[in-house]
Amino acid sequence: MASPKLKYLSLGVLVFQTTSLVLTMRYSRTIQGDGPRYLASSAVVIAELLKILACLLLVLKEHSYSLRALNSILRQEIVNKPMETLKLAIPSGIYTLQNNLLYVALSNLDAATYQVTYQLKILTTALFSVSMLGRRLGVYQWMSLLILMAGVALVQLNAYALLPRRIQWPSESPEAKEKEAQATGSQFVGVAAVLVACCSSGFAGVYFEKILKESKQSVWVRNIQLGMFGLVFGLFGMLAYDGERVRQSGVFQGYNMITWTVVALQALGGLVIAAVIKYADNILKGFATSLSIIVSTLISYFWLQDFDPTSTDPKVIHFSWRIVDRQSPNTNKCLGEEDYPGS
Ligand code: C5P
């Protein structure tokens, strides 16, 4: 039985990590500095590399900092058990796809829509937990899942229904029509990316939980196996999508402090999620990440004053999450979103 202290500690760190990641990631993808924007595919690779290094340090710590013990564990568990290692290629490939999809989603959706829609992963996780782990859910649990689906549907309805009125372009001009079509198109791309990510998140999470709970192997060794494949898939992805740009301006083009923060938070996420899956489970992980929506809303509203709950239509409560560029001379500039009426 896992210690309750570790269980709640890992869940608490997960709330912190998810809250900070979504805000910094959205900020990093929407703010335009002077140079080129960093390559999302390179951020995925670097985060994977950092995660492997951190896991190696954790295994080293588990074995009283003996390099010899580390070497023998890696040989025994990774090199000598190729079939066991290969099992991790499945969640790893899926996570690599997912990590790239989330950048697509956050480049096209505002943080609030993204976060709420991504909560559908609780539903996919529950379905995979039932089918793959034989977990049973009670009536109330199924009912909460239905309410979750209804909530996500309302957010989407809101985004589409308000789109033409939210954006203040003279609706007759051809440029306005083109912009409107682009905004609708990118909303669609963003939502499609999140929905695929929800399915991959549910499956990969439950698959990893099954592997962890069916063997006694250290979670950090499992994470190294996962990360090794992640690194290989990520490198392929980077070369396939951004090979030309990498050859021209290098892997670290457009990196700044914010990019490094995103990369570090993503690496931390990998560690914390592994710990949560081990000490708690995937469904509790879902609740922890949902809690992070409330935490980030409160932080934005009371502290950053970036969250602007507005209701332009009495029938529809409309939340717009505005990330303000504090360095910009125009401090009210809303990044990546158009100005809303009445704002
Ligand atoms: O949204 P979701 O909870 O599915 O996100 C899981 C994230 O955690 C992915 O970015 C995945 O790469 C990462 N992860 C990891 N190591 C694990 C499990 C997940 O890095 N053992």
Phi then psi for residue 41, to 5 deg, are -65, -35
pLDDT of residue 312: 37
Nearest residue (by CA) to ligand 1, atom 20, is 270
**Does 96 contact ligand 1 (Cβ within 6 A)?**
no
pLDDT of residue 194: 94
pLDDT of residue 66: 94
The Cα 38–Cα 256 span in angstroms is: 9
- What's the Cα-to-Cα distance from 177 to each of 161, 168, 174, 308, rounded to whole Å? 16, 11, 5, 27
| Contact (CB, 8 A) for 227 and 48 | yes
pLDDT of residue 315: 32
Residue 237 alpha carbon to ligand 1 centre in Å: 17
Q: In testing the pocket of ligand 1, which one of 273, 276, 290 has its CB within 8 Å of the most ligand atoms?
A: 273
* Helices 111-118 and 89-108, packing angle to 10 deg: 150
Residue 16 alpha carbon to ligand 1 centre in Å: 15
The Cα 118–Cα 104 span in angstroms is: 13
pLDDT of residue 314: 32
**Does 205 contact ligand 1 (Cβ within 6 A)?**
yes
pLDDT of residue 96: 85
Residue 270 alpha carbon to ligand 1 centre in Å: 5
Residues lower than pLDDT 70 in the chain: 1-2, 26, 29-35, 157-185, 300, 303-343
pTM score of the predicted model: 0.76
Q: Which helix (H) or strand (E) holds 191?
A: helix 174-214
Residue 20 alpha carbon to ligand 1 centre in Å: 15
Long-range pairs of 69-76 with CB within 8 A, sequence gap ≥ 24? 73/218, 73/221, 74/221, 74/224
Pull the structure tokens for residue 322.
């505005």
Nearest atom of ligand 1 to the alpha carbon of 266: 10
Residues in the chain: 343
pLDDT of residue 117: 87
Task: Return the closest-CA partner of residue 112 out of 61, 151, 168.
Answer: 151
Nearest residue (by CA) to ligand 1, atom 16, is 270
Q: Using alpha carbons only, how large is the chain's radius of gyration in Å?
A: 21
Nearest residue (by CA) to ligand 1, atom 15, is 270
Nearest atom of ligand 1 to the alpha carbon of 200: 4
> Per-residue pLDDT tens for 153-210?
787 766 555 444 444 444 456 666 665 555 556 888 999 999 999 999 999 999 999 9
The Cα 39–Cα 239 span in angstroms is: 11
